[in-house]
Amino acid sequence: MNKNAPAHFPNDKAVIFDIQRFSLHDGPGIRTTVFFKGCPLSCAWCQNPESQKSRPELIFYTESCIQCFDCRKHCPGNAISDQAMLRFDPKRCTVCGQCVTQCLTNSLRMIGKEWSASDLLEEIYKDIDFFMDSNGGITLSGGEPLLQANFLFQWLPMVKEKKIHTTIETCGLADWKQVEKLLPWLDLVFYDLKHMNDSIHKQFTGYGNAGILENFSRLSRSKAGLQARMPVIPGINNSVENILATADFLKSNHHFSIHLLPYHNLGEAKLKRIYSHQRSMNIASPDSEQLKQTQELFEKEKIHAVLYD
């Protein structure tokens, strides 16, 4: 795995960076989406760059900072910087959080919090009425939830005891033995296919796609609920060549649908707030004509393409 991934996670706790309620596009019904921190990939177009590192980190909102520097008085590592764009020196910062507790304007915040299995179950159970009324449930997102598989081994059975529908959103780069072990507790797997060309995949995500494609094929042979998805990145993966290769791969695995997720650059606004190696791609979101062409190409190849808003 890459520099974003941890050597290990504690088995009894998960590092979560957000819990989003009333999600409508992360599976059937009304859902609560749990965002797990850490990802083995570092996609150039990542819309949640704060999810890539596995451990909690700081985020800084320069527009609300009044430069009182009370944070500096309480930083044991002398990591508070005068730089306007990033208030802390990431090389000195130990992410102890003392500056966060002293920031009067909430300009310094912590991304990522450890949750025990019981506490996280209690948190999502607050939404049980919405799940029951809408045939909804929870969606595991990130980051990459499978990086915290040891936690999921104990937590998902607890969730299923409550009769809650479970969906996972995954990049597929994981140990198959761990994936297979989790399948009894997962109702639906949203699986990203970012690019069919191995070298291009590695160029833009940090890893080749061989293991990802093999895991998809294994899932397609299992009894898992599986749904392919593709982020539509103009100039990178929306070429005719890649769309036809993706369609051929799906058909070879007896899978005949794909969900298309249009790229947007909202994640780039976060880059100036965190310490990240990701840089702006300087590309526009696909327009309606580009999306329509992508959809029609899949449909022509007998792959039903669902276009997200």
Per-residue pLDDT 10s for the chain (309 aa) are 444 544 455 568 999 999 999 998 899 999 999 999 999 999 999 999 999 999 999 999 999 999 999 999 999 999 998 876 788 988 899 999 999 999 999 999 999 999 999 999 999 999 999 999 999 999 999 999 999 999 999 999 999 999 999 999 999 999 999 999 999 999 999 999 999 999 999 999 999 999 999 999 999 999 789 999 999 999 999 999 999 999 999 999 999 999 999 999 888 888 888 888 888 888 889 999 999 999 999 999 999 999 998
- Mark whether 182 and 76 lie in a shared domain: no
- Mark whether 160 and 195 lie in a shared domain: yes
**Is 275 inside a domain boundary?**
no
The backbone torsions φ and ψ at residue 39, rounded to the nearest 5 degrees and listed phi first, read -150, 140
User: What is the reported pLDDT for 1?
Assistant: 42
User: What is the reported pLDDT for 6?
Assistant: 46
User: What is the reported pLDDT for 269?
Assistant: 82
User: What is the reported pLDDT for 10?
Assistant: 59
User: What is the reported pLDDT for 2?
Assistant: 47
- Mark whether 130 and 166 lie in a shared domain: yes
Q: Which of 30, 11, 13 is nearest to 112 (CA)?
A: 13
Could you tell me if 61 and 109 are in contact, meaning their C-beta atoms sit under 8 angstroms apart?
A: yes
Q: At what angle do helices 240-252 and 288-300 cross, to 10 degrees?
A: 40
Distances (CA, A) of 269 to 17, 67, 89, 118, 154: 17, 21, 20, 34, 36
User: What is the reported pLDDT for 5?
Assistant: 47
**Is 276 inside a domain boundary?**
no
Which helix H or strand E contains 188, and what residues bound it? strand 188-192
Beta strand 257-262 pairing with 226-232: parallel
CATH number at residue 93: 3.30.70.20
Could you tell me if 23 and 10 are in contact, meaning their C-beta atoms sit under 8 angstroms apart?
A: no
Take residue 90 and report the two structure tokens written for it.
Answer: 């990431």
- Mark whether 210 and 132 lie in a shared domain: yes
- Mark whether 166 and 75 lie in a shared domain: no
- Residues 6 or more apart from 137 whose CB is under 8 A from it? 27, 28, 29, 31, 32, 131, 164, 165, 166, 167, 187
User: What is the reported pLDDT for 278?
Assistant: 82
Query: Does the CA dihedral 83-85-90-94 come out positive or negative?
Result: positive
CATH number at residue 168: 3.20.20.70
- Mark whether 126 and 189 lie in a shared domain: yes
Q: Count the domains in the chain.
A: 2
Q: Which domain holds residue 83?
A: 57-111
Q: Which of 111, 126, 144 is the last residue before a domain boundary? A: 111
**Is 167 inside a domain boundary?**
yes
User: What is the reported pLDDT for 83?
Assistant: 76
**Is 203 inside a domain boundary?**
yes
**Is 277 inside a domain boundary?**
no
User: What is the reported pLDDT for 248?
Assistant: 98
Amino acid at site 129: D
Q: Which of 91, 111, 131 is the last residue before a domain boundary? A: 111
User: What is the reported pLDDT for 7?
Assistant: 44
Q: Which of 73, 90, 111 is the last residue before a domain boundary? A: 111
- Residue 19 CA to residue 123 CA, distance in Å, equals 9
pTM: 0.92
- Mark whether 100 and 148 lie in a shared domain: no
